Structure 1
Amino acid sequence: MTPFVSGFTNQCIMSIVRNAKIINHDFLQHCLTLFPGSMSLAFAYGSGVFSQKNNAKSGQMVDFIFAVDDPQGWHEANIAKNPRHYSFLKYLGSGTVSSWQKDYGAKVYFNTLVPVENGTIKYGVISTAALLSDLLDWDTLYVAGRLHKPCRILRPPASDDLSTALRLNLQSALHTALLLLPSHFSERELYTKIASLSYIGDFRMWVGEDKNKVSNIVDGQLQEFSELYAPARESLSEFMEVTNGSGRQDVSPAARFYHLSMLPRELQQTCVTRRWNRDGRHRDVEDVLRAAACDIYSNGVIVGGLGDITRMRNISQSIKGIFTAGLIKSVRYSARKLTKMFRSMRR
């Protein structure tokens, strides 16, 4: 079998998100006008934008991510324009705010519970360079993981590099999910596995998140997932197929080795290889991948590697949020999350 690179394009991303079930497009566009315009990518995501099972969009906070080339300059302009969005860190200057963004946690700076006309929003700011690295290498899986799921692209990618990275991030998610699935699976199981990748090892799934979060996401957006991953599935047509809601794949060592060889650098070369070599031997990356391809129990190493990526980053990002949001907003935000969690436990 000879793998080939997908022809997935930025235009495909645009057509997919335009056809998704979007809440109040005018509201999303209005929100963008409240911020400095120098963004290399802007998107909205989550339950405030897309339908989720057992989760009405009405009254939900809407989440945004903004990628910017110059974080310090962007924060300087935004502090001047929207000073009330920031915690006490604004008094230390845009350089300090930018350092908190780039040097701690998942390299994202969030302002949360921001009131706007007819709603409430949360927005995260990440540098374009950090976003590219996360999409390609899965350094943190923090923003890359959000882009594994349907998102509303509001400001298209400003460069071919960013468009390519968005495409490769979806392909990486598909490779990883296939390694964790059996030879036969349902289409829903495929997207549930993809949607769960960035939550593996996330402590918030134990405390503070809806216990049915992943299944609610997939069940409310199954068609959107199918359209989003159609080009990536086509690129792997020699290894898998999905027809009428049912999927099957080649699980031979050769196919598994191909998927393993296409994993992002952080997962492949750092996490999986390090875990495989815990017996004290020092095999190189290729030897580890070939051994894992032949081992039917190697899924645990991949799952453990995903947890290694997300665990500490999510903890440090949450701690960072206490300072970037401020104590009062942090308490209010956590209370909202806990309320959703308890509601899901009662279902």
Structure 2
Amino acid sequence: MMIQAALSEARLPPWRLGFAYGSGVLDTSRMLDVIITVDDPVSWHAENLAANRSHYSVLASLGPRAVARTQAAGPGVYFNAYVPLATTWPAMKYGVVSTAALFEDLRTWRWLYLAGRLHKPVVGLAGFEQLAEAQAVNLRAALAAALLLLPPRFDAETLFSMIASLSYEGDVRFAVGAEDAAKIDTIVGPNLAAFRDLFDAPIAAAVGDGVLTRRSDDAFEQRPDNASLLLARLPPALRAATDLGAALRRLVRRSSAAQTLKGLFTAGPGRSFRYVAAKLAKGKKRPVTVRTYSS
């Protein structure tokens, strides 16, 4: 696999499991985005610093414990960006997260950061199958949240757009123009088949237990009296929310603000400026058509 070869080229120490995500997976002219998990962040960063000091900003001069403490802040991911690659992709951005933190986010939506990324199609790398059970919980919760925010009748694209929006509404990057304003459209439109595959099991389960009715291959219907069943499938912290849409926006705002602020230190000023400039330029290429949903 080309992605695995790119990771091998970067000479990263052994990691537990990983996945690639974003437009760079298919467009090899862009930076490749990867998430990997490690069981012991201090030891892993110590080994990676010895092999790949150039991947890190000046923050790494404080040592692997400081890097690991920074990683643990907020959503728990430490990104190294613009790591040059000699073949296929020009560069790679890899995020390091503790294995335990990833599992926690999938099951509880404490940050809805990596859990949100896994609401969309990704490319699983070595060890990804270990996420199967936690990912099933995550996808079932995403479907339930989307159904609670949707009207009685809707089509498949509307459903998947709502799911994709769960972890973007409230994102501070949209507020400052540092993210593509048509992000949801560009994620869902070209990837409907992949979304169908990803959510095939939770949708089939929802149809099987009467929560959802399939009117055709592309159209669904739900009954308003299913709300209590759907609420029970959300992470506990969201079950008592009086306004689910607002609660999700607050969660995403807190998560994205924390990770964005941390990125200024982990990437360093030069890489941060380059990354934000690229995002701003990308956002200006499309009209502002981002969908806004409310409960």
Structure 1 and Structure 2 fold alike (TM over 0.5): yes
Distance (whole Å) between structure 2 residues aligned to residue 39 and residue 233 of structure 1: 32
Query: Does structure 1 residue 65 correspond to structure 2 residue 35?
Result: yes
**Equivalent residues of 1:185, 1:248 under 8 A apart:** yes
Partner of 2:293: none
Tell me the secondary structure at the aligned position of residue 74 of structure 2: coil
Which of residues 42, 46, 61 is equivalent to 2:22?
A: 46
Distance (whole Å) between structure 2 residues aligned to residue 59 and residue 256 of structure 1: 45
Query: Does structure 1 residue 115 correspond to structure 2 residue 87?
Result: no
- TM-score (ref. length: structure 1): 0.78
Partner of 1:189: 158
Distance (whole Å) between structure 2 residues aligned to residue 339 and residue 64 of structure 1: 22
Distance (whole Å) between structure 2 residues aligned to residue 185 and residue 105 of structure 1: 35
Tell me the secondary structure at the aligned position of residue 262 of structure 1: coil
Distance (whole Å) between structure 2 residues aligned to residue 268 and residue 85 of structure 1: 41
What is the aligned-residue RMSD (CA, Å)? 1.6
Give the superposition deviation at 1:193. 0.3
Query: Does structure 1 residue 201 correspond to structure 2 residue 145?
Result: no
- TM-score (ref. length: structure 2): 0.91
Give the superposition deviation at 1:158. 6.7
Query: Does structure 1 residue 29 correspond to structure 2 residue 10?
Result: no
Give the superposition deviation at 1:82. 1.2
Distance (whole Å) between structure 1 residues aligned to residue 206 and residue 129 of structure 2: 27
Q: Provide Cα deviations, 1:24-68, integer angstroms capped at 9, x if missing partner.
A: x42x01122234453222000001114xxxxxx241111000111
Which of residues 211, 224, 233 is equivalent to 1:239?
A: 211
Partner of 1:327: 269
**Equivalent residues of 1:138, 1:265 under 8 A apart:** no
Matches within 5 A, 1:264-303: 264-269=235-240, 272=241, 276=242, 301-303=243-245
Distance (whole Å) between structure 2 residues aligned to residue 170 and residue 74 of structure 1: 30
**Can you give the 5+ residue segments of structure 1 that lack an aligned partner in the other structure?**
1-24, 51-56, 277-300
Evaluate the alpha carbon distance shift between residue 137 and residue 340 of structure 1 in structure 2; reply closer, same or farther with a 3 A threshold: same
**Equivalent residues of 1:267, 1:309 under 8 A apart:** no
Large movers: runs of 4+ above 2 Å: 34-40, 156-159, 241-244, 265-269
Matches within 5 A, 1:1-347: 25-26=1-2, 28-33=3-8, 34-50=10-26, 57-102=27-72, 104-118=73-87, 119-157=90-128, 159=130, 162-206=131-175, 207-237=177-207, 238-242=210-214, 243-252=216-225, 255-269=226-240, 272=241, 276=242, 301-345=243-287
Tell me the secondary structure at the aligned position of residue 284 of structure 2: helix
Tell me the secondary structure at the aligned position of residue 345 of structure 1: coil
**Equivalent residues of 2:213, 2:222 under 8 A apart:** yes
Tell me the secondary structure at the aligned position of residue 263 of structure 1: coil
Partner of 2:292: none
Which structure has the greater CA radius of gyration?
Answer: 1
Partner of 1:3: none
Give the superposition deviation at 1:316. 1.8
Distance (whole Å) between structure 1 residues aligned to residue 114 and residue 48 of structure 2: 21
**Can you give the 5+ residue segments of structure 2 that lack an aligned partner in the other structure?**
290-295
Evaluate the alpha carbon distance shift between residue 167 and residue 181 of structure 1 in structure 2; reply closer, same or farther with a 3 A threshold: same
Count of residues paired in the alignment: 282
